[in-house]
Structures are given as C-alpha cells and as structure tokens.
Amino acid sequence: MINKLLQLDADFTQRIRITEKTGITRSLAILFAHSGDSWFWLLGLAALYWLGSDPWKARAIWMAVSILATAALVFTIKLVTRRQRPEGEWGAIYRRTDPHSFPSGHAARAALLATLAFGSGPAWFGWLLLAWAPLVIIARVAMGLHYLSDVLAGALLGFMIGCGVLFFFPPPPIPF
C-alpha cells in the first residue's frame, strides 16, 4: 500500500514539474522557489530590526525565532525520514546542502510566515503572504526539488507551528 502511494506521489509530482521547460512560467517558478529561502527572510528581518522602531524590532525577533525553530524541527524530521529529493539537475545548492526532501522546509517556512502574518497583521501583509505561500509551495515541486507529499507535509507543519506560536507566544503589538 505504501509503495502504491509513493508511486502515485511520484507520478503526480512528475506531471507538475517544469524544470526542463523554458519560458515565463519556469522563470516565475524559479523566482518563487527561491523567495522562500531562509537566508532571504532572515536578512529581511535583520534589516527590519536595524531600521525599524522598537515594536517592529520586537516583531522581527519574534518572526526570526519562529523561522529558526521551524527550521530546527524540519531538519530533525529530515534526518529521521531521509527521503531523497527527486532526481534532477536544477537547484544544485539545495541538493548539495540538504539532500533530503521530506518535509519541505520552504513549504513549512512559507506556511509559517503566512500564518504569522495573517494572524498578527498588518492585514495587507497577511493577505500578501497568504497569496505568496502557495506559489512558493508549488514552485518547489515544479522545479523538481520536492515531491508533492513533501510540500503538503511541510505546509501543514508550518501552519501548525504558526498557530502554536500565535497561541502560546502572541506577537508583540505594532502601532498601525
């Protein structure tokens, strides 16, 4: 039964894949696949901390700690499951630094950030990240870095962590 599910996952993943194609869709998939990189978000949050007022500095730290905690949990799960990424050439940096695909860290981070932004405001930022997250998630499959089940599990994990953070560690208030 598990082999049948894994084969179905691999088949569906292959249908979504556009790595070998050219054009604007591939270019957008590359952009979104990279936009979920942790270094990008941590750098942006560092800039917010550096340039922002005290409430925004507190919010930047809150989000950065949430990203790092999510990364630690994803990394631990990856070490336990050790599922290899789909075969492919694109994304060599990801393939070298992290050969495991389950769960997707990018999907977890995207869902986490969308959940935190939607749950804490400002509203425009929540809606923006809610639109952005699924694009990151599907781009990781389209570019051949993950199976569909990897990103679904990562998104669910990120959403659950985001809900937990919002419940147990409410965000610092921001004067809007």
The per-residue pLDDT for range 64-97, each reduced to its tens digit, is 999 999 999 999 999 999 998 888 887 778 888 8
- Residue 31 CA to chain centroid, in angstroms? 13
Choose the weakest-confidence range: 24-33, 100-109, 128-137: 24-33
Average pLDDT across the chain, whole number: 92
Question: Residue 75: enclosing H or E segment and its boundaries?
Answer: helix 54-81
Choose the weakest-confidence range: 19-33, 50-64, 141-155: 19-33
Interatomic CA distance for residues 88 and 78, integer angstroms: 19
Q: DSSP H helical segments within the chain, as ranges? A: 2-16, 24-35, 38-51, 54-81, 92-97, 105-120, 123-142, 148-168
Position 163 pLDDT exceeds 70: yes
Interatomic CA distance for residues 136 and 176, integer angstroms: 28
The per-residue pLDDT for range 165-174, each reduced to its tens digit, is: 999 999 988 7
Position 176 pLDDT exceeds 80: no
Residue with tokens 């500095």: 57
Handedness of CA 94, 160, 61, 74 (dihedral sign): negative
Collapse the DSSP code of 98 into the 3-class scheme (helix H, G, I; strand E, B; otherwise coil) and give the result: coil
Residue 122's CB is within 10 A of a number of other CB atoms, namely 11
* 103-131: average pLDDT: 95
Strand positions, DSSP E, 27-124:
none
Q: Which two tokens stand for residue 141?
A: 């499959």
Cβ within 8 Å of residue 144, ≥6 positions away: 17, 19, 85, 86, 87, 88, 90, 91
